[in-house]
Amino acid sequence: MKTLNDFNFENKKALIRVDFNVPLNDAFEVTDATRIVSAKPTIIKILEDGGSCVLMSHLGRPKGVQDKFSLRHIVNKVEDILGVEVKFVSDCIGQDAEDASKNLKPGEILLLENLRFYPEETAGDVNFAEALSKLGDIYVNDAFGTAHRAHASTTIIAQFFPAHKCFGHLLAQEIDSIKKVMETGEKPVLAVLGGAKVSSKITIIENILDKVDHLIIGGGMTFTFIKAQGGSIGDSICEDDKMELALDIMKQAKAKNVQIHLPVDVVAANAFSNDADTEIMDVTQIPDGWQGLDAGPKSIANFHDVVMQSKTILWNGPLGVFEMERFSEGTIALGNSIAEATKNGAFSLVGGGDSVAAVKQFGFEHKVSYVSTGGGAMLESLEGKTLPGIAAILE
């Protein structure tokens, strides 16, 4: 696996695919700069080597050229974060871009205009990728968030740098973290899968049964498993057409010696609302008119014990409807348990969608070992897929 450390960037131009797809408010101010901050180590290493950086990214989903999706809006923010002046060119290919790249001196940074102003980017067009490739000597992919897409700048472009391509620090870290959980993790390995639906996690569950010793299933997924085993779940969220699959997963887990832990009690509510009446109930005895919206105290205690025994922990998906304060306790308690296990030496990876939002919202971000920057890319990795953006560098 080639990384930045395999190259000396002195007098070289690094063409870096970053993920600067950051949220902007109505005044075009960056409201969450995490992705820019995450790219900093790669950029600084190249500048310190005596190289220069040509940064390319997409922003939003523009239809053709639309000023509101222009990357010029973020130039100041990128400068603030990197502490270096950032030049900007209002096209990502063509003569202007080539001139701007040619004039770049060691220590300088150039940001290209939004790649997705060209439909060829998402179409994975080879000619567009070749035009981009003229802007640098070494191709660096540091955009995990788009590594599951075979786009021109994330995948197709790599063929124009057969011996001069590598992963940036961020992407290398993402790959290492996934590997630590899926391949080389110290046992016992635990996966906590929560969230709303079995159907969106099924491929992950099936892939992960070969890698883990314990599997905690929580959140809305719980009820498909409980109903399938004959429990009464009232009005709780359930996918009836996945009940057989749930039983099959339980069987597979037994055969593979994986212990599945489901909630035993829940915080049930008489409406899907923060103002509803609530009661702690046995997960198998929820009457009609009530629905389980969070893990109950016994479940939280059980999960704590499992987490504390584990040396490697993957967390994907909340244990309840954490967006509503009264159903956030299970998710917060789990975060606390994982933070404590991490402090005691366990490796913990949080990844994929809503669990990242929960971890940030409740302040666990720096108490776990690694928080993934990629939603879809993380989910596909956990499903066991080889991401095209990663494969293109390895080839």
- The single residue of 2, 197, 311, 367 carrying the catalytic annotation is 197
Please name which of 72, 74, 68, 106 lies closest in space to residue 89, comparing C-alpha atoms.
72
Distance CA 84, CA 45 (A): 13
* Residue of 314, 75, 83 whose CA lies nearest to 193: 314
The smaller minimum CB distance to ligand AMP, of residues 190 and 198, is found at 198
In whole angstroms, the minimum distance from the beta carbon of 133 to ligand AMP comes to: 36
Buried-state track 348-381, b at ≥16 Cβ within 10 A, e below 16: bbbbbbbbbebbebbebeebbbbbbbbbebbbbb
Decide: 209 and 254 in contact? Cβ < 8 Å.
Answer: no
Closest CB to ligand AMP among residues 75, 271: 271
Residue type, 271: A
Answer yes or no: 35 catalytic: yes
Question: How far is residue 213's CA from residue 210's CA, in Å, rounded to a whole number?
Answer: 9
- Smallest gap from Cβ 243 to ligand AMP, in A, equals 16
**Chain residue at closest Cβ approach to ligand AMP:** 195
Nearer residue to ligand AMP within complex by CB, 200 or 252: 200
The residue from 145, 219, 353, 374 that is catalytic is 353
Taking the least distance from each CB to ligand AMP, the nearer of 182 and 193 is 193
Q: Which helix (H) or strand (E) holds 89?
A: strand 86-89
Active site residue 353: yes
Identify the active-site residue in 60, 107, 376, 384: 376
72 catalytically annotated: no
Minimum CB–partner distance for residue 7 and ligand AMP (Å)? 38
Which of 12, 13, 35, 211 is the catalytic position? 35
**Of 200 and 203, which CB lies nearer to ligand AMP in the complex structure?**
200
Q: Least distance from C-beta 366 to ligand AMP, angstroms?
A: 22
The answer to whether 181 touches 154, Cβ cutoff 8 Å, is no
Distance, CA of 152 to CA of 35 (rounded, Å):
20
Angle formed at CA 75 by CA 175 and CA 373, multiple of 5 degrees = 20
Least distance between ligand AMP and beta carbon 288 (Å): 16
List of residues contacting ligand AMP (CB under 6 A): 195-197, 200, 219-220, 237, 292-293, 317-318, 320-321, 323, 353-354
Q: Which residues are catalytic?
A: 35, 197, 353, 376
